[in-house]
Amino acid sequence: MHPPGICGPLAGVAALLSLTHAAAEPLCRPALTFKQVAFSPMQPPTMQRRWTAVVAVDASRCTADAWGHFEIVFTRLQEFGPDTESAEYFIWVAPEVTVAVNIAPSEAVERYRIGMVTPCPCAK
């Protein structure tokens, strides 16, 4: 026996959840890979360097006009403190995207990798 008045709302929530799930488009993810990576010389007066990369975007599983966000996770060696890990956020679009990050004169990039990549609607 169920308390009066609870069955109707529960049935409505269950129906709404099943409709939402059925209406959702399947999601895919593009494949992102580094093509070219470079460091600029130190730039006076700040002595910063610029880390640049060309990231290839294979969005063949996505709809034709798909785009999204991604992150590059950096491990930075610090001259005056503990090494740090941080993420920089960019927008992906096929077939490739050029990205850039300023690096402080007291830092060096030890490692970098693609982190989170937002999904895209799958091509049909």
Q: Which domains does the chain have, with CATH numbers?
A: 25-121 (2.60.40)
Please tell me the distance from the alpha carbon of residue 55 to that of residue 33, in angstroms, as a whole number.
6
pTM exceeding the 0.85 threshold for the entire prediction: no
Average per-residue pLDDT for the chain = 85
pLDDT value of residue 26: 83
Q: What would the pLDDT profile of 88-105 be if each residue is shown by its tens digit?
A: 999 999 999 999 999 999
Neighbour count for residue 85 (Cβ, 10 Å): 10
Q: What would the pLDDT profile of 49-91 be if each residue is shown by its tens digit?
A: 999 999 999 999 999 999 999 999 999 999 888 999 999 999 9
Whether the CA torsion 39, 41, 44, 47 is positive or negative: it is positive
pLDDT value of residue 81: 86
